[in-house]
Amino acid sequence: MIRRILLGYDGSASSDNAYGFAAEMAKRYAAELHALVVARPPDFGDEVETEAALEDVQRRYNRVLSALKVRLANDGLAAHSQLVIGHPAEQLVRYAEQHAIDHIVVGHRGHTLFERWLIGSVARQVVAYAYCAVTIVRQNK
């Protein structure tokens, strides 16, 4: 039985597709919908540069979260939504474990093979480490 669904959302086209899938699934199963926006901290610079970059990332993702909350309300979905800072896959898996999530839904950006090899795929990492079912929604081309 699916009771709690977690949507990984970053405001991209692929996460918009994932949103549609997760929203439909939540309605179909009368499941709780949780939406998690993850702001990834910068991997570079000294403390001053990193702090300024992190503040910029937080502002950007707060706007993404605000728009998501409006969209959820317009679609008549009562959802738990939150912004966290960290690596997206790690934060999604951690949130799922802490909130007894039954199903995670994430988008897939369709990176080239080389990009996936070089930087990895958040979706692939979620599949590898999540204890629950994961659906990866590919972006329509």
- Fold held by 4-138: Rossmann fold (3.40.50)
CB 119 within 8 A of CB 87: no
Token digits of residue 110: 């369709």
pLDDT tens for 6-43 read 999 998 888 999 999 999 999 999 999 999 999 887 76
Query: For residue 38, how many other CB atoms are within 10 A of its CB?
Result: 21
pLDDT on residue 27: 94
SS3 of residue 33 by DSSP: strand
pLDDT classification of 53: cutoffs 50, 70, 90: confident
Closest C-alpha among 92, 79, 99 to residue 19: 79
Q: Is the pLDDT of residue 137 over 70?
A: yes
**111 Cβ partners below 8 Å, 6+ apart?**
119, 121
Instruction: Check residue 106 and give left, alpha or beta (phi > 0: left; psi -120 to 50: alpha).
Output: beta
CB 127 within 8 A of CB 134: yes
In the chain, the amino acid numbered 2 is I
Average pLDDT over residues 36-55: 73
pLDDT tens for 74-129 read 999 889 999 999 999 999 999 999 999 999 999 887 555 554 544 457 888 899 99
